[in-house]
Amino acid sequence: MKVIHWFREDLRLLDNPALSHAAEHADAEVVPVFIYPEGLGGASYWWLHKSLENLSKALKSKGVDLVFATGSPHTVLPKLAEQIGANLITWNRVYSPEGIEQGKQVKQALGNASVEHRSFNGQLLIEPTKVLNKQGLPFKVFTPFWRNCVSFLTARELAPEPRFKPSTHSLASEHLQDWGLQPTAPNWAKGFEPLWQPGEAGAQSRWREFLSGTIDTYKDGRDIPSESNTSLLSPHLVFGEISSQQLWNDVQEAIVGQQISHENGHKFLSEIGWREFSRYLLVHFPHLITEPFNARFTNFPWGDDAQLIKAWQQGQTGYPIVDAGMRELWQTGYMHNRVRMIVASFLTKHCLSHWHHGMAWFWDTLLDADIANNTASWQWVAGCGADASPYFRIFNPILQGEKFDKQGVYVKRWVPELADVPAKFIHKPWEADQPTLHAAKVALGTDYPLPIVDHKHARETALLAYQAIKT
């Protein structure tokens, strides 16, 4: 008997409930299949290629061949099942609207073909439909949502790495190399290579390093972009290379064992809670991807000034903390969370650009591009999302820089033309006098741009736009 495991956003062997179920099935030979996902961004495809290479090697070392296929899952999977005579297909659920729809279509097609299916929660601590408020409605605010989740979350035993029977099937697989997921000319991803190790082994080693080190300074350290105080697990989590249940278990154990403080451990887990919340929101409010969560913003006069958007994308706005973030993103495929908030506020409020533009750029350039986190976070910063910061809270990019990058270490790393500007002016170089700029070897407007918008004026314009929809 053969069982197909359909790998989706669960590219791991440890604590993979659907895969374990497939392997435990009496006398089963597991045939793992991965189907080309349409519509990812460029950076995500780079990660996916490496992650699949590693998954394929890990399976091979256990005697199992990963099958690569292209097409709609509801067509591909029944066909493969028929070819090898599989009578069961397993998968871990994906919670985006597209992922849910795909699951439904596959179920229907398998039903028609009389092939059994079983789906599992391998992605979240809590199934989104299980958490409702006292009125039986979905939560719209994070704190009560998470408080509710924490009240019944427990450590669950992780599903062990499955043991497989060696592959005997003769399915023809496509070749990963032929999918062309890696950039060639130009290779814009060469900066990613030394920084990231996609795949399950990379995820586990990143996690062990964080858990035995910086997690214990997480609460205060997580807001300083020049330091590596956060886990950097986001792309690993997006591709399911490590389970959130493992993070939960390990943190609880480290707190009980007094290796880390309760405060730091729970602060970290609450960020995992934000990840749960954004998926939860998408399950209950799927229109979030295109429409503002707060309907009042439907007629907000968002603009789409192409020049402003381009300057923002290229890190040429003249606001050093914004430019540093956008350049970090381009060169590394990642941006620190504090800086994501600053650049998103700048685009949606200082430039009055629609959050769709920012979301699309992040989708293409982030290695951790994630439909739920990206959508919910952009709407949150733009002021129109669930539990959003009020619209009138407009981040001042100068004060944010001075608060979270006091000496300009982060800015100088990513905006080298400002390397010699004194800390006093690093977040507002236009206020420095000519001798200071001359000594710093920077000519504003030539080596580094003057601000593309005036902070005070932009702030007032944004507030006026907000006033208009409020009334």
Ligand X SMILES: Cc1cc2nc3c(=O)[nH]c(=O)nc-3n(C[C@H](O)[C@H](O)[C@H](O)COP(=O)(O)OP(=O)(O)OC[C@H]3O[C@@H](n4cnc5c(N)ncnc54)[C@H](O)[C@@H]3O)c2cc1C
Which residues are known catalytic residues?
271, 274, 302, 337, 355, 378
Interface with ligand X (CB under 6 A), residue from 148, 173, 337, 436: 337
Interface with ligand X (CB under 6 A), residue from 281, 282, 366, 384: 366
Token code pair at residue 366: 């982030």
Nearer to ligand X, 191 or 221 (CB): 221
Q: What is the nearest approach in angstroms of ligand X to the Cβ of residue 96? A: 12
> Could you tell me how many residues of this chain bind ligand X (CB under 6 A)?
27
Please, what's the largest Cα pairwise distance for the chain? 79
Interface with ligand X (CB under 6 A), residue from 102, 119, 234, 379: 234
Q: Is 342 in the site for ligand X (CB under 6 A)?
A: no
CB 221: neighbour CB atoms within 10 A?
15
Angle between helices 355-365 and 42-60 (to 10 degrees): 40
Nearer to ligand X, 250 or 370 (CB): 370
Q: What is the nearest approach in angstroms of ligand X to the Cβ of residue 368? A: 4
Q: Is 389 in the site for ligand X (CB under 6 A)?
A: no
Among the listed residues 126, 78, 128, 79, the one whose alpha carbon sits nearest the alpha carbon of residue 99: 128
Q: Is 217 in the site for ligand X (CB under 6 A)?
A: no
| Contacts (Cβ under 8 Å, ≥6 apart) of 131 | 138, 139, 145, 148, 149, 280
Q: Is 231 in the site for ligand X (CB under 6 A)?
A: yes
Q: What is the nearest approach in angstroms of ligand X to the Cβ of residue 228? A: 9
Q: Which of residues 244-303 bind ligand X (CB under 6 A)?
A: 271-272, 274-275, 278
Among the listed residues 169, 158, 19, the one whose alpha carbon sits nearest the alpha carbon of residue 89: 19
Among the listed residues 145, 385, 144, the one whose alpha carbon sits nearest the alpha carbon of residue 287: 385
Q: DSSP letters of 305-357?
A: -HHHHHHHHTT-SS-HHHHHHHHHHHHHS---HHHHHHHHHIIIIIS-B-HHH
| DSSP letter assigned to residue 2 | E
* Region near ligand X per CB under 6 A, out of 114-122, 175-183, 234-242, 308-316: 234-242
Q: Is 233 in the site for ligand X (CB under 6 A)?
A: yes
* Region near ligand X per CB under 6 A, out of 54-62, 127-135, 143-151, 361-369: 361-369
Q: What is the nearest approach in angstroms of ligand X to the Cβ of residue 283? A: 15
Determine which helix (DSSP H) or strand (DSSP E) holds 361, and give its type and residue range: helix 355-365
Q: Is 13 in the site for ligand X (CB under 6 A)?
A: no
Burial of 248 per CB tally in 10 Å (0-12, 13-18, 19+): middle
* Region near ligand X per CB under 6 A, out of 50-58, 140-148, 375-383, 387-395: 375-383
Nearer to ligand X, 2 or 327 (CB): 327
Q: Is 427 in the site for ligand X (CB under 6 A)?
A: no
| DSSP letter assigned to residue 119 | E
Q: Is 377 in the site for ligand X (CB under 6 A)?
A: yes
CA dihedral 310, 408, 381, 137 (to 10 degrees): 140
- DSSP lists the bridge partners of residue 119 as 91
CB 431: neighbour CB atoms within 10 A?
10
Alpha carbon separation from 410 to 165, 181, 322, 402, 414 (Å, rounded): 51, 31, 11, 11, 7
Q: Is 237 in the site for ligand X (CB under 6 A)?
A: yes
Nearer to ligand X, 56 or 332 (CB): 332
Nearer to ligand X, 13 or 272 (CB): 272
Nearer to ligand X, 40 or 171 (CB): 40
Q: Is 241 in the site for ligand X (CB under 6 A)?
A: no
Nearer to ligand X, 6 or 47 (CB): 47
Q: Under the rule (CB under 6 A), what is the footprint of ligand X? A: 222, 230-234, 237-238, 271-272, 274-275, 278, 337, 340-341, 344, 362, 366, 368-370, 373-374, 377-378, 381
